[in-house]
Structure 1
């Protein structure tokens, strides 16, 4: 496959690469403006190389992948992951008459790029629970590089069948806690056995997804909401329990202390229907010093 995609601007791919570069598992080159996307098509690994050839205001991308794969299936998945079809300028305009507008305008055109593999997203989210970002990233990298596979320079997470066959001690050797190792293995067992179909969650309501995921040991609402954002690409999630979101709101609104969950729930009710983007831009505000 060798094709070019032209989008309606703005689409700030360079800012997205900056965020993606925090994860050492991502294969990218900020100077060449390229990203290797390890995706699954009908369960088979495919690496799509995406290169930005346009500007933020006039975005164009050159995509290449193995010619043996279905071009339409690849493009459908790339559009899902990259949010190529989200009207980012219109989304910013939605907040023009709100107190959030300076925040949204500052990050205008920055897309919410989801994780490349659905199962990998759930594993990463479980691993990241209640850990600081640096160690969570290191632990995830160890997990993938020990049990996953590399193709054309891009890393694929191990499949659930592989992880369900591990024992707790094997993950403890990577510095997993015993409990977190159990959560990862037991969740993988459910998926491998067909008791949890991650792709089958796509059409479900958010509350139904939360209900199904939190029924599993070790998965709470924070994990479920992050999976829906970064895995399923849901546009209107607001993880009020996220420490980064709380700190960003404290900074943006010049509060004396982090806001309460009740305050955030009431405030965020007015931010529909793009609260996942509000969340992303709040995170960006911490990283970029926006006040």
Structure 2
């Protein structure tokens, strides 16, 4: 067992991040102790623990892991997932001059936490397509608990190889639609065969990633943008087709109907180059 302290630039409101993550039953969160135990996806999976020991303005963490030889790899992964490299002070200063100022003040310092691996980052939005949030969360939990595995009580998504070998009936038994079952299995087969290389795709610009992903059956612009935002941590994504985002803007501007794409384009002009944070905080405003 190893232990390392990490000190980052504030603001960073880890407690608000944990509050949001605790809504997902797959996450092992202890809000009282201000910690989360997370899956580290690699050839030999392991579990790491992150515990906040600082404040919003002076964030500090204790990270614990089990394999000493992978210590730096785990620290790098956690820093990437929790976006410790992005000074949120710059984001808040940017939005203090916009219509989103009050929302950013209310959720001050809340980071966007990325998915822990690229494959789950693409599978999750496909599962979430065209169903309400509570059912989407339940369906994802069943999928992971049925076909994935646990280590030290922490859930890991199944590998593409495992999912590629499933039948659509296997997923239908969990209340997946026939088409969604086909999408997930076919996507997994593409990854296993090497036709889709997520590591290589991650090196490409946003537009190229979207262009490649929407060629795949079952992946549209919304899913591709969700993957860019929560899978790759890209900072200037604004998925206008997202119903939650539309409702949040409707509330913000007190509209009597959902905004048009043209209106959303106009409202969001001042939010570049941090559209991803605008999207995230707008979602927070209606959660």
What band does the TM-score fall into relative to the shorter chain?
A: over 0.9
Say whether the 8 Å CA contact 1:88–1:108 is kept in structure 2: no
Residue 215 of structure 1 and its aligned partner are, at CA, apart by: 0.7
Distance 1:19 1:122 in 2: 20
Report the alpha carbon displacement of residue 145 of structure 1 after superposing the two structures with TM.
Answer: 0.2
Please, what TM-score do these two structures have when normalized by structure 1?
A: 0.95
Contact map agreement 1:89 1:108 (CA 8 A) in 2: no
Task: Measure the CA separation in 1 of the matches of 2:264 and 2:252.
Answer: 13
Aligned residues: 286
Q: CA deviation at 1:98?
A: 2.0
2:45 aligned counterpart, secondary structure: strand
Q: What are structure 2's unaligned runs of at least 5 residues?
A: none
Cα drift, residue 143 of structure 1: 0.5
- Find the aligned partners of 2:273 and 2:219 in 1 and give their Cα distance: 25
1:262 aligns with 2:262: yes
Structure 2 residue aligned with 1:213 = 213
* Cα distance in 1 between the residues matched to 2:217 and 2:67: 42
How big is each residue's C-alpha offset from its partner over 1:95-145, in whole Å with a ceiling of 9 and x where there is no partner? Answer: 222222222222221100011121011111110011100001111111000
Structure 2 counterpart of 1:10: 11
Cα displacement string for residues 63-83 of structure 1 (whole angstroms, at most 9, x for unaligned residues): 011134422211111111001
Query: In 2, Cα distance between the equivalents of 1:185 and 1:23?
Result: 23
CA distance in structure 1 between the aligned counterparts of 2:102 and 2:131, rounded to whole angstroms: 31
Match of 1:164 in 2: 164
Alpha-carbon distance in structure 2 between the residues aligned to 1:213 and 1:66: 36
Displacement of 1:270 in angstroms is 2.4
Does residue 122 of structure 1 match 2:148? no
Inter-partner Cα distance in structure 1 for 2:36 and 2:204: 30
CA deviation map 1:15-74 (0-9, x unaligned): 111110111001111111110110223x33121100111111211100011134422211
For 1:187, the equivalent position in structure 2 comes to 187
- Using the TM superposition, give the Cα deviation of residue 193 of structure 1 relative to its aligned residue in structure 2, in angstroms: 0.6
Distance 2:107 2:41 in 1: 30
- Larger mean CA deviation between 51-60 and 186-195 belongs to 51-60
Q: How does 1:78-157 map to 2 (within 5 A)?
A: 78-157=78-157
Map of 2:249 onto structure 1 = 249
Map Cα deviations across residues 160-204 of structure 1 (whole Å, 9 max, x no partner).
000000000010001101010000000000001111111112220
Using structure 2 for the length normalisation, give the TM-score. Answer: 0.97
Contact kept, 8 Å, 1:236 with 1:274, in 2: the verdict is yes
| Residue 45 in structure 1 maps to residue 45 in structure 2 | yes
Which ranges in structure 1 are unaligned for 5 or more consecutive residues?
none
Shift in Å at residue 266 of structure 1? 2.8
Shift of 1:221: 0.3
**Distance of 2:247 and 2:180 partners within structure 1:** 26
Contact 1:37 1:154 in 2 (8 A): yes
C-alpha distance in structure 2 between counterparts of 1:69 and 1:137, whole Å: 35
Taking the aligned partners of 2:223 and 2:283, their CA distance within structure 1 comes to 17
Distance 2:155 2:97 in 1: 43
